Chain A
Amino acid sequence: MHGCLRSDETVGSRAQERKVEVVADQGFDKDALTKTIHEGIDAVNQARNSKELQAARTTYVGRDSMIAHVQHSLGSLPIDQRKQAGQLLGQLRAEFGRAYGAKNEQVKAAEEERRLRDEKVDVTLPVDRHPLGARHPLSALMEDIQDFFVSMGWTISEGPEIDSEWYDFDALNFGPDHPARQMQDTFYVKGDQAKDAAGFVGSNMVLRTQTSSDQVRGLIQRGVPLYMACTGKVFRTDELDATHTPVFHQCEALAVDKGLTMSDLKGTLDALAVAMFGPEAHTRLRPSYFPFTEPSAEMDLWFPDKKGGAGWIEWGGCGMVHPNVLRSAGLDPDEYTGFAFGVGVERALLLRHDINDMHDLVEGDVRFSKQFAMGE
């Protein structure tokens, strides 16, 4: 129906455009209006951007357009014509609106596409205004070790770095004249007020030579059953070289309970080895001697990634807690047994990351830590 009407009314409308406005109060030239709107639709379709599109809309359906004028003067038409005219106006507006809507979408899309094209940047430009720092791999590894023990339900202690000789030696069954006491290459704290058991004047304080120094403190302060790991710095008078450093880090593990045996020691060691070095890692024990354990053992680690082929690597010392250590904490060795072991954190780190020189761990060169970012 629309199509019929349009084809009828199109004829001669362009020529009478002006006339439509002037004769509005006596009826109007429907053909001229239709033609004008169709011209407007052409203009919409030809618009190249939203500006031209807006202009076409203003011209053909805006406040000052022919259709607006007609609309305005509809009231002066006789009733019978008014309805018909209203229908026509509605049709024409709808027709224009559809064309406008379609074109508007098209133009907007094109314009957005252009803007996005214009906004293109070089995303490879460096954007590191605030670069990440880095953790030292030693501290990060110590946290990993702590987490291992926490996962087994153990508690983590730290203990003081300067400690009494009693906690570092005597409580651990290093008698005042024990050869091992000299073997340890101890840093002594200067003092002139205290006398040790051998009568030497000093402070009776040392830079702890081992994290085992926290064993008896742990037993006394925390009580039994005790499952405790102590991580931290220890000190020995070794000059810095490729494999030694006077300040290094250890992790000590101590479990005291009823019924613990060397089997529990071996199981815990194996689990730690796996946590640190992967599923193939395990440990073996060799008889050895430490004043604070009996039986005592050296622990070797089976290291699949050892240079030159998988093999055993010495990793730390361990054993069953010596009865005298339990007595130092006021415990009855006939009632309680326990095991303890200590591992070197530096050694584990050197192994894990194929680091050849201890200097890298102690010098604090930022390039070293940055390799590990937040911890590997």
Chain B
Amino acid sequence: MPMVDIDWLKEHVETPADLTVEQLSQDLVKVGLETETIHRSSVSGPLVVGKIIDHTPEPQKNGKTINWCHIDVGDKYNDTDAQGKKVPRGIICGAPNVRTGMLAVVALPGAELPGGFKISVRKTYGHVSEGMCCSEAEIGLSDAHSGIIDLEKQGFSAEEVQEIKPGDDAIHLLHMDVPILEINITPDRGYAFSYRGVAREYHHSTGEPYTDPVLSLNRRVPEVKPGHMGDVPAAIEDNNPIHGKIGCDHYYLRVVRGFDPSASTPNWMRRRLVRAGVRPHSLAVDVTNYVMLDLGQPMHAYDLDKVAPPIIVRRAAEGEKMTTLDGVERTLSHEDLVISDSPDGKRGSRILGLAGDMGGQYGEITADTKNILIETAHFDPVTIARTARRHKLPTEASHRFERGTDTQMQAAAAQDAIEYLTRYGQGTASDNPTNIDTTTAPKAITFKTDWVKRLANLDCTPDQIASILTDIGCDVAGGGNGSFSVTPPTWRPDLNIPADLVEEVARIIGYDKIPVEIPKAPVKNTGLTLNQKRGRRVTDTLAQSGLVETISYPFVGQADFDAFRIDPSAISSELVEITNPLAGDRPYMRTHVLYTLALTAQRNIRRGMENVQIYEIGHSFKARPNAPVIPALPGAKKPTDEQLKVLEEGLPDQPLQAAGLLTGNAVNPGWYKDSRPIDWSDAIAHVNRIAGVLGAHLTVTALDDAKNLPSDFVSASWHPGRTAIFSAADGTYVGVAGELHPQVNKNLGFPEHSAAFEIDLTALFATLDTKPLKAKILSTFPPVREDLAFTVDESVTAAQLVAAIQEGAGSDLESVHLFDVYRGADLGDGKKSLAFSVVYRSAAKTLRASDAKQIRSRVVASAAKLGAVLRV
């Protein structure tokens, strides 16, 4: 983002003599130009100029060659020999670009470089090194670290280099002692991507007098009519406008002849460019960059002698190739706009550049260029944005064009460039420009002044409003009926509707002047929804039951499929894949929360945590087979009901799940001596508890008996004999709990018998009553208790037997509780005994022994259907 140098800003706006960069930052923030950072050198001296007197290459065992240098750092810092004579310092330098006579930047002992790196005398490579030659990166000037700084290549003129002496303060020389402000420009304020725009905003913030540089430049521009063909004829031939907009609606060319290619850029300009982060090049290129930074108009300079007119601005043919300045060959799209010329009379046959983005390798300014063609244009923002996106080639020019540039600054910007070129590089400017201008004037906005009150709640008079809008460059007319006709300036394509103008008025008056009120919401909401409350109960219950809540990224990949023994081809039609994943090995959205929860558990275990018992509540994602294709619809228009339906149905299924992972001990070893490791029962207990807090009545089925598994359920992840499937009363699958498959536990590095559960909360909640529970009448007749033990085959489950007891006992059964499971030789092979404590209680009378006996015989008969025999 753009740099703001106070020194440069003063070209267009007055500033207090003592303006600090901090104050400037605050002034600009007030009107909406955010501070990115204040760049301030963190280098403290001595950092001085050193002249390399000699250097001795010394190859090292590791294959590297280091140089033992003697460097003159000025008498103040040089060494003193035995005779009291000043001699250069000995310094070790590993950079490849060391040469004798080079002017380097030397950090001497006592200096501190960015990152708190302190320089001291040190023994290294068999020498005593008394300082360090610095690269740009080492002193925080840039990221360049390929060699040490060569001051002759830092943009100083030959005369200036002559003036640089060993021992000079390099901090001052490199302007590292002047801080610079970097600001952020929001996408609507393209015009602030320039000193012209920032200065105007500074004026709005402070009221300091501002002079628009374009006004005076326009006075010096040679006047030609739109459509005038000058020295170099051109044409715009757009056969593929995007959204019906021509790719270039203003194209302007000026010529300078007799330019001195050896002329150098003045140091002030070079310094400003360097501080703005732009590498100095040659005068012609530097001037185009400078004018772009100053006025916000990107421009291009061609070698006039290489260009074969006419110049044609056209769309590329699909698949047409060109090589951009960066040496990359690019295959173009029919949407890319190009600048081409017409060699051998073939109109538009040779591409000179990718319009608004980057020039090509042919036609560029070189060290021999004497005649220069300056191009300034206004390109369609969408065209340029798409080209920059398509070729992944964002440039200073594309940044400006895609935000929208001034449609009427082309002549002034070219004039500015030409004045610099002729002033510093001799040559003569031609007064015969080419000017193709099909732009239309900005549309007037009908602005009811009460909109300022309606949106911003600011009380201001129509006069105040008119004066603010005039100051930002608008043309304000009318005023009768409380309504103005406001025409925005050509550099503000973002001003289109009344609300835009309200923002302008409000920000110039100051958002802090808007009074504070608290809105009263109508009483129609009833707080959290039932399901939101249920979600909270689930999460609180799990945390209270000893599990720690975690949150993981929902991305999975092959490694996770492998760990959970998933065959991706079996679920591929349901996988949601990300086009541009951050981690290429995890390009899919999780189909189960458990998969990413496992990674969290793994991380904890690797960090040495024991008894990792964690849960996560989050969404999983499952593409719907035959989901409708989601259409591209325009904004600012409500879709039809049919379209709205597709917008929902085209989305993947995104159920909310609660997953838990249990490793280590269920009860820790302790003085009470009842410790035990986690097993399948702990996982099931958690699900039961959740069902309990929700008032859900779930049935449990063994994994191999379950008939309602969803399509994305992976049985291979679970222990085949220690996994329970939970179903709602209507048979809907709502969850699973049990031990992970031993191989899964091994794959993930979990202890044996580690267990897990996963509840599909969306499905579960949908099965729950939304009406308040109807309470039962409590019987006050006395209970009858008895214990019943049945011998059954191993294949009969506890749940089956309980159901049989309930069925047999009927309505007088109050409760049944299994209290023992016994296996022994006395029962025989393949048999077990299940013992229950049952309570009978009638709602109508006191049960007598004979009643109890009757109930028991019904129970026994019912159990007998399962082959169960009452033990007596």
Which residues of chain A have a CB within 8 Å of any CB of chain B?
125-136, 138-139, 143, 146, 150, 152-156, 160-167, 169-180, 182-183, 187-191, 193-198, 202-205, 207, 220, 225, 227, 233, 237, 239, 246-247, 255, 257, 260-264, 266-268, 270-271, 284-289, 294-298, 320, 322-325, 327-330, 337, 361-367, 369-370, 374
Contact = CB atoms under 8 A, between A and B. Distances in A.
Nearest to A129: B667
Interface stretch (B173-181, B264-272, B669-677, B767-775): B669-677
B607 A365 contact: yes
A204 B637 contact: no
Interface in B372-431: 381-382, 385-386, 389, 402-403
24 contacts: A128-B668, A131-B546, A133-B544, A133-B613, A155-B525, A156-B532, A166-B630, A176-B632, A204-B630, A204-B631, A247-B554, A264-B519, A266-B517, A287-B507, A289-B188, A294-B499, A295-B455, A327-B637, A328-B636, A329-B638, A365-B607, A366-B614, A369-B548, A374-B540
Contacts of B521: 152-154, 225, 227, 255
Contacts of B515: 263, 266
A93 B242 CA distance: 120
Contact of A270 (B188, B516, B519, B527): B516
Contact of A366 (B518, B527, B577, B604): B604
B815 interface: no
B interface majority secondary structure:
loop
Interface in B643-657: 644, 647, 650-652, 654
Given A152-B521, A190-B577, A262-B514, A205 B650 contact: yes
B554 A288 contact: no
A173 B496 CA distance: 13
A322 B636 CA distance: 10
A170 B30 contact: no
Interface in B308-348: none
Report the interface size class on chain B. 35 or more
A194 B632 contact: yes
A327 B636 CA distance: 5
B636 to A, nearest CB: 4
Given A161-B619, A177-B386, A287 B546 contact: no
Contacts of B631: 194, 204
A134 B511 contact: no
Nearest to A196: B632
Contacts of A176: 632
Contacts of A132: 543-544, 546
Contacts of A328: 635-638
Contacts of A270: 516
A365 B604 contact: yes
Contact of A183 (B187, B506, B525, B671): B187
Given A288-B186, A295-B507, A370-B548, 5 more contacts: A127-B672, A135-B549, A153-B525, A162-B589, A320-B455
A23 to B, nearest CB: 58
A233 B589 CA distance: 14
Given A286-B29, A294-B502, A366-B548, A190 B613 contact: no
Nearest to B536: A143
A298 B636 contact: no
B454 to A, nearest CB: 7
**Which of A166, A239, A324 has the most C-beta atoms of chain B within 10 angstroms of its own C-beta?**
A166
Contacts of A207: 578
A144 B188 CA distance: 35
Interface in B618-647: 618-619, 621, 629-639, 644, 647
B16 interface: no
The 8 closest A-B pairs by CB, nearest first: A287-B32, A295-B503, A289-B186, A364-B550, A330-B638, A364-B600, A153-B521, A287-B507
B82 interface: no
B539 interface: yes
A158 to B, nearest CB: 8
Nearest to B499: A294
Contacts of A246: 553, 582
Interface in B547-569: 547-554
Interface in B516-547: 516-523, 525, 527-529, 532, 536, 539-540, 542-547
Contacts of B554: 161, 233, 247
B554 to A, nearest CB: 7
Given A163-B651, A179-B385, A172 B635 contact: yes
B97 interface: no
Contacts of B536: 143
Given A133-B543, A255-B519, A188 B580 contact: yes
B147 to A, nearest CB: 29
**Which of A165, A220, A263 has the most C-beta atoms of chain B within 10 angstroms of its own C-beta?**
A263
A374 to B, nearest CB: 6
A267 B187 contact: no
B389 A182 contact: yes
Nearest to A150: B527
Nearest to B599: A364
B638 A129 contact: no
Contacts of B31: 287
A284 B511 contact: yes
A166 B647 contact: yes
A243 B98 CA distance: 39
Given A288-B186, A294-B499, A173 B506 contact: no
B612 interface: yes
B581 interface: yes
A139 B549 contact: yes
Contact of B633 (A162, A166, A220, A362): A166
Nearest to B550: A364
B632 A195 contact: yes
Contact of A237 (B188, B381, B553, B582): B582
B612 to A, nearest CB: 6
A284 B546 contact: no
